[in-house]
Amino acid sequence: MADKITLTQSVTALKGVGSKVAERLEKLGINQIQDLLFHLPLRYQDRTRLQPMGTLRLHQEVLVEGTVKLSQIKFGRRRSLLCHIGDGTGSLVLRFFHFSNTQLQQLAQGVRVRCFGEVRNGPSSLEMVHPEYQVIADDKVVPVDAELTPIYPTTEGLHQLSFRKLIKQALALLNDESLPELVIEQAKLNAVAHYSLVEALHFVHQPPPDVDVQLLLDKRHPTQRRLAYEELLAHHLSMRKVKAQAQQHAAPVLKGDGDYRQQLLQQLPFPLTNAQQRVVAEILTDIAQAIPMQRLVQGDVGSGKTVVAAMAVLEAVSAGYQAVMMAPTELLADQHLQTFKTWLEPLGLQVGWCVGKQTASERRQVLTDLSDGKIQVAVGTHALFQDEVTFNKLGLVVIDEQHRFGVHQRLALRDKGKGADSFPHQLVMTATPIPRTLAMTAYADLNVSVIDELPPGRIPVTTVVLPDTRRAEIVQRVDVACQQNRQVYWVCTLIEESEHLQCQAAEDAAIELQEALPDLRIALVHGRMKSAEKEQVMQQFKAGNIDLLVATTVIEVGVDVPNASLMIIENAERLGLAQLHQLRGRVGRGSVQSHCVLMYKSPLSENGQARLRCLRDTNDGFAIAQRDLELRGPGEVLGTRQTGLPQFRVADVMQDQDLINVMPPAADHLLASSPDLSEQLIARWFGHKIDFGQV
């Protein structure tokens, strides 16, 4: 008798898996038999019941059965076979663009056919295009399927049918012994603990016909939640592992005498808020350790993150190390440079500047000064981390406004700053508040500080939502504000992802506004201007020599002009809530009441209305981010590309928030009681797919 096959064996132990199939499976991350079990269906098809034709709805995938009333070849732009069928409750057209003579004969009038396909709108009635079909002999009773049909994510050369066969084999090997229960004891939640892991896996691969299909399609069935719990736990554990591994590295102990910090505090025209003080203390505690800090500071626009960063920078410098502050754009880097110069040069420190568009000689000088340590603090863009940049003694890296960084990017940056035998401390700052559950998932490898208080005396911005049909009125409003010696932003938003068109739109708007308001000093700033030009315009605006600044979304982050008290955002419906909130944060920085006009192109979709309304109703960045998460999903909130979130198989960051909330204690429990199981769990769900680089 052959040895019993175990789930950890290679898939080649299964029938029908030769080297070619194994290779294809490997592309999907499937190596062991158990990997097949965790390769979950993307969706399902229901062939377990016949749907009466009178109840068909568009885009449903359904099984129907009826009698052919008429079959005819239609000669139009494309020759096609149209087959009209009915079942007494209604009728349907089957449309074939490719068909044989045999098919034509098969689908003759009076024949009974059973079809499966998607219901679509045809020219004159509902139809199915190229459905699967079978002819049913009159005297035969053909049973419908006993289970829903799972549809798996697959790759070229691997058919759904082959997948189902393989998974059937794997399921036959699955029982409580072959796959021990790992985590259900921690799953205190009733809905989740209701099924065992083994039951849940059987269920999702072969759902019984009486299941609530909609629940299953929405990934809200308790068996799916049971699996989502495991998947989220596996993910959380893997992030904890990254964190633990990072903490095995050495980092310089940044503990100075506090003199520089004291001097800066004395120099500032304001005291730090309690929240700022608390976060500074959290950072100082971290960087005084000999392991690299990995901390995320979240703070709403205007909460005063820059000075918090400066305090950390000063601590690094007074401990004898260099610090860098990286910003995503040159405009913002420049603003930080000015701020840091104002704050740090009086303390006798050298602040350097490193961006892409420097002249060669400028750059050579900076590079020399950085590598021999003449510059203690460097401010810049990504250019700070190009290969030819070497630091004398880098102790701290601050990354501003880069919430779009995933774990890989953060680690890559950290590795670039690596010294002889240690890594610099890393501080990531974001002004886009990230809803707690999302942060817990995407940033579980980071410690998080929140500056949850705005400096005193800020008057909340008043926001109105208006259609572009009231443009003339809005232009008058701009005029009135400027007559009162206030300054105004007019923001033109992204047009179809094209920077060129966006700049064009801003140029047109500037011309048009100048015609309407000839007395105003109007200037333009957009992404295609040279940075020196942009800088000059911004300086002029800051100095009060410009009344109205027409801009693209380049001004989104960071720019600080307290006298600006009105912002108009054109086509506001095109932007995400978080981005709009960021933009709006450019006003309301002074002592007068500020206003923001969200102008939209009507008609506005219901979702669009809901989004703009949300922005009108609150100034709380966290509430807005939570709403954005609900309305647009996590990819949009974190930035679509580098979200730092994996593609979950069943878990859903929105729907499973309650599960995400219990991950830290569940992981604590598991790591304390059976740490080796943690490895098994990670391998089960992410085994061959998660690669965190050389951590």
- Residue placing its CB nearer to ligand ADP in the complex, 290 or 459: 459
Of 48, 51, 294, 303, the residue at the interface with ligand ADP (CB under 6 A) is: 303
**In the complex, least distance from residue 271 CB atom to ligand ADP, rounded to whole angstroms:** 6
- Residue placing its CB nearer to ligand ADP in the complex, 303 or 553: 303
- d(C-alpha 283, C-alpha 332), whole Å: 23
CA torsion through residues 653, 658, 661, 664, sign: negative
- d(C-alpha 129, C-alpha 119), whole Å: 8
The stretch among 298-306, 368-376, 519-527, 618-626 that binds ligand ADP (CB under 6 A) is 298-306
**In the complex, least distance from residue 405 CB atom to ligand ADP, rounded to whole angstroms:** 17
Amino acid at 662: V
Q: Does 332 bind ligand ADP (CB under 6 A)?
A: no
Give 270-299 as a 3 state SS string. CCCCHHHHHHHHHHHHHHCCCCCCEEEEEE
270 binds, among Mg ion, ligand ADP, none (CB under 5 to 8 A by kind): ligand ADP
Q: Does 461 bind ligand ADP (CB under 6 A)?
A: no
- Residue placing its CB nearer to Mg ion in the complex, 299 or 417: 299
**In the complex, least distance from residue 400 CB atom to Mg ion, rounded to whole angstroms:** 6
Q: Does 579 bind ligand ADP (CB under 6 A)?
A: no
- Residue placing its CB nearer to ligand ADP in the complex, 271 or 693: 271
CA torsion through residues 3, 9, 10, 15, sign: positive
- Residue placing its CB nearer to ligand ADP in the complex, 55 or 591: 591
- d(C-alpha 184, C-alpha 388), whole Å: 52
Of 113, 211, 301, 522, the residue at the interface with ligand ADP (CB under 6 A) is: 301
**In the complex, least distance from residue 619 CB atom to ligand ADP, rounded to whole angstroms:** 13
Beta bridge partner(s), residue 451 = 299
Q: Does 83 bind ligand ADP (CB under 6 A)?
A: no
**In the complex, least distance from residue 360 CB atom to Mg ion, rounded to whole angstroms:** 30
**In the complex, least distance from residue 618 CB atom to Mg ion, rounded to whole angstroms:** 21
- d(C-alpha 77, C-alpha 91), whole Å: 25
Amino acid at 583: L
Instruction: List % helix, strand, coil for the chain (3-state, nearest 5).
Output: 40, 20, 40
- How many other C-beta atoms are found inside a 10 Å radius of the C-beta of residue 10? 15
- Residue placing its CB nearer to Mg ion in the complex, 7 or 325: 325
449 binds, among Mg ion, ligand ADP, none (CB under 5 to 8 A by kind): none
Report CA 76 to chain centroid distance, whole Å: 46
Q: Does 583 bind ligand ADP (CB under 6 A)?
A: no
- d(C-alpha 524, C-alpha 533), whole Å: 10
Q: Does 302 bind ligand ADP (CB under 6 A)?
A: yes
145 binds, among ligand ADP, Mg ion, none (CB under 5 to 8 A by kind): none
The SS3 assignment for 605 reads: coil
The stretch among 19-27, 190-198, 241-249, 294-302 that binds ligand ADP (CB under 6 A) is 294-302
Amino acid at 113: V
Of 270, 390, 532, 665, the residue at the interface with ligand ADP (CB under 6 A) is: 270
- d(C-alpha 418, C-alpha 424), whole Å: 6
Contact 279, 447 (CB under 8 A): no
Contact 347, 318 (CB under 8 A): no
**In the complex, least distance from residue 593 CB atom to ligand ADP, rounded to whole angstroms:** 17
**In the complex, least distance from residue 237 CB atom to Mg ion, rounded to whole angstroms:** 33
The stretch among 195-203, 270-278, 477-485, 603-611 that binds ligand ADP (CB under 6 A) is 270-278
Beta bridge partner(s), residue 295 = 427, 447
The b-or-e profile of 529-561 (16+ CB within 10 A means b, else e) is: bebeebbebbeebbeeebbbbbbbbbbbbbbeb
**Planar angle of CA 440, 239, 253, nearest 5 degrees:** 95
- Residue nearest to Mg ion according to CB distances in the complex: 558
319 binds, among ligand ADP, Mg ion, none (CB under 5 to 8 A by kind): none
- Residue placing its CB nearer to ligand ADP in the complex, 366 or 431: 431
303 binds, among Mg ion, ligand ADP, none (CB under 5 to 8 A by kind): ligand ADP
- Residue placing its CB nearer to Mg ion in the complex, 17 or 451: 451
Q: Which stretches of the chain bind Mg ion, using CB under 5 A? A: 558
**In the complex, least distance from residue 562 CB atom to Mg ion, rounded to whole angstroms:** 14
- How many other C-beta atoms are found inside a 10 Å radius of the C-beta of residue 687? 19
- d(C-alpha 84, C-alpha 547), whole Å: 69
HSE (side-chain half, CA atoms, 13 Å) at 549: 33
Tokens matching residue 485? 């010696």
Q: Compute φ and ψ for 567, nearest 5 degrees.
A: -130, 130
**In the complex, least distance from residue 270 CB atom to ligand ADP, rounded to whole angstroms:** 4
Q: Which residue has the tokens 């097949």?
A: 36
- Residue placing its CB nearer to Mg ion in the complex, 298 or 358: 298
- d(C-alpha 19, C-alpha 453), whole Å: 60
Residue span 413-452 as binding mask against ligand ADP, x where in contact by CB under 6 A, dash where not: ------------------x---------------------
Of 560, 590, 609, 631, the residue at the interface with ligand ADP (CB under 6 A) is: 560
Of 31, 276, 432, 643, the residue at the interface with ligand ADP (CB under 6 A) is: 276
- Residue placing its CB nearer to Mg ion in the complex, 430 or 678: 430
Binding residues vs ligand ADP (CB under 6 A): 270, 272-273, 276, 299, 301-307, 431, 455, 560
